[in-house]
Structure 1
Amino acid sequence: MNSSEIVFIKSVKDGIPNRDPLNDSDARRLFPEEDGRISLSDVSIKRDVRDFIIAYEPNGGAAQKNHIFVQEKVNDKGKLLGRGSLAEEIAKSVGEEKKAKDDMKSVLKAHCFDVRTFGIVYSVKPKFNLTGPVQFGWAHSLHPVDTQYVQGTVVMPSSDSNDEGEGKTQGTIWTTYTLPFAVFAMPAVINAKAAEHSGMTEEDQELLLRALWQGTQHRQARGRGQQQPLILVHIEYSDPFYRIGYPEELIAMSPDAAAWKAAGKQPSSLQDVSFDLTKLLVVMAEKQEKIARCRIWLHSGVNVSGDIQPFVQPIW
């Protein structure tokens, strides 16, 4: 498997995919308020991938190698399982309980997709940690965003009335922050040397790319909005010690952030923006001796500049 870089661009409508609990569950802002951009954490992206794998490969899949270690799971009594119990449950399901007592690390590497790709910090004795070959950066919006504070009501009362007719007779009022539309770009790196230690394979890599695209579509919730993958770029290197570096900065959205800010407006739909990959294509052409392969997945509704046709792949 080659070392590689990823750029993933997605949009969201009528929701916030990753909220900040320290800011009344508004959008996360890593940049100053006057900058206007908002951000999504790598934890949010990984959750999309994990949830897709759980649905796509139930119970670890036919080969029992794609279990998900980091997830919320309860026992028969409804209590949330901790790291140790989650690991023991996976080991039991694959018939490796005895091996797990002495070498839980190898059991989880062999049977958990997220351990091989994202790594693990196992805080149960005997403790161990494993650096994941896949490292996501923060996803930032490509334009300034103003979130809106909205209010609504729930018709259903929260409790029954008693025999005398007393009790809750009205629904409750809810409030939340939301945003009408935003476009985000997220970078990632896959380190082939780290993959040798974690056991990540090329098959895992292909499943990861699919999970980024379809996991974004799969993990829908009212507060997270309607999410749509737009562009996924995967660049593999023949030179294991070379990277283009910050490839997301070589993809331009038009109008750019400065233009939207100057106009005092924000994009409201996919039809308001287009993307230019020309700079990225130029850099790839200049460094072609270091690049083994480039693949691009593209949503049909996206307007793109640059001759990307030789790299375009069919959508899953």
Structure 2
Amino acid sequence: MAEVIKNRYEFVILFDVENGNPNGDPDAGNMPRFDPETGVGLVTDVCLKRKIRNYVETVKEDQMGYRIYIKDGVPLNRSDAEAYRELEVDDKTIKDKKKKDPDVDRKIRDFMCSNFYDIRTFGAVMTTFVKAALNCGQVRGPVQLGFARSVEPVMPQEVTITRVAITTEADAEKKGTEMGRKYIIPYGLYRAEGYVSANLARKVTGFTEEDLELLWTAILNMFEHDHSAARGKMSVRELIIFRHDSEMGNAPAYKLFDAVTIERKNPDMPARRYSDYEVTVRQEQIPDGVTCIRRS
């Protein structure tokens, strides 16, 4: 059986987009998300977790212990019901079961954590009240991500396109093409920061060393099986990992994040590729008890 992680981690993900829309905003006509005050581009944590989930689902193919809880086409209560069946209860008998066995809630939670990788990793709210009230509890996952922000302000562009596929017969009698629009960012380098809590892994979900290595692999490859014309060329360029020597950590997270600096090599020219930037980890700012690992 794989060993639960014993070290705290922080990490920085650097990824870029070229001529694409990394994360459209439904409230703004699906244009790229950005901070209106600064022009800095945004990608939500939900978007990044979706890519990680998709990669794990692709490579593991519903292997035991590595299924995905939040996935396309599978209602949550269908997965919740599996835990109830495992304990041979339903929404009507669960109260009586709890009176006889005070550990029922923990057993349900442990079943969900052991079977679903994304619950074991990110946590989940596993309560549904559709027809049958299924309550598998709430789990706070050891791995947390923040919004990704572009290193510099981005310049979203609306590109007009033409297509020869006409929507209706009536329109086909009048015209031979139709107009369309898509949003792109010519280039943007994004930075996301994340955390891995060994304490929560030990106490709650049982997140293991094998799970951790799969997480790093999924982050590095999360765009490799997700290419589309709308997203353009997206790539994870580097994963910078800070490994603490202890479960509770040896330094505040912000100090480690501050050690990672990104500067444009030529301030007079707009960046259009990753090589236009210099990424530096200032080793003198990393305290004792913390090891920096750079993966790409």
Q: Please indicate the TM-score interval, normalised by the length of the shorter structure.
A: 0.7 to 0.9
Q: Following the alignment from structure 1 to structure 2, what is the Cα–Cα distance between the partners of residues 204 and 167?
A: 58
Aligned to 2:278: 274
Q: Following the alignment from structure 1 to structure 2, what is the Cα–Cα distance between the partners of residues 179 and 12?
A: 7
Task: Give matches, 1:4-153, under 5 Å.
Answer: 4-30=9-35, 32=37, 35-59=38-62, 61=63, 64-73=64-73, 81-88=74-81, 91=82, 97-99=85-87, 101=89, 104-124=108-128, 125-127=133-135, 128-153=137-162
**Which amino acid letter does the alignment assign opposite residue 4 of structure 1?**
Y
**Greater RCO, CA 8 A, separation 6+:** 2
**Which amino acid letter does the alignment assign opposite residue 42 of structure 1?**
D
In the alignment, structure 1 residue 201 sits paired with structure 2 residue 203? no
- Number of aligned pairs? 267
Task: Give matches, 1:99-248, under 5 Å.
Answer: 99=87, 101=89, 104-124=108-128, 125-127=133-135, 128-159=137-168, 161=169, 170-196=176-202, 197-242=204-249, 243-246=251-254, 247-248=256-257
The structural deviation recorded for 1:105 is 2.6
Aligned to 2:230, what secondary structure does the other structure show?
helix
The structural deviation recorded for 1:104 is 4.0
Q: CA RMSD in A?
A: 2.4
Change (3 A) 1:97 1:146: same
Contact 1:7 1:232 in 2 (8 A): yes
Contact 1:217 1:228 in 2 (8 A): yes
The structural deviation recorded for 1:4 is 0.7
Q: Following the alignment from structure 2 to structure 1, what is the Cα–Cα distance between the partners of residues 284 and 71?
A: 41
The two structures have a TM-score, normalised by structure 1, of: 0.77
Q: Following the alignment from structure 1 to structure 2, what is the Cα–Cα distance between the partners of residues 12 and 100?
A: 49
**Which amino acid letter does the alignment assign opposite residue 75 of structure 2?**
G
The structural deviation recorded for 1:157 is 2.4
* Identical residues among aligned pairs (%): 21
Unaligned runs of 5+ in 1: 74-80, 299-316
In the alignment, structure 1 residue 294 sits paired with structure 2 residue 292? yes
Q: Following the alignment from structure 2 to structure 1, what is the Cα–Cα distance between the partners of residues 226 and 209?
A: 24
Unaligned runs of 5+ in 2: 95-106
The two structures have a TM-score, normalised by structure 2, of: 0.82
Q: Following the alignment from structure 2 to structure 1, what is the Cα–Cα distance between the partners of residues 48 and 58?
A: 16
Aligned to 1:109, what secondary structure does the other structure show?
helix
The structural deviation recorded for 1:170 is 3.8
**Which amino acid letter does the alignment assign opposite residue 226 of structure 2?**
R
**Which amino acid letter does the alignment assign opposite residue 237 of structure 1?**
H
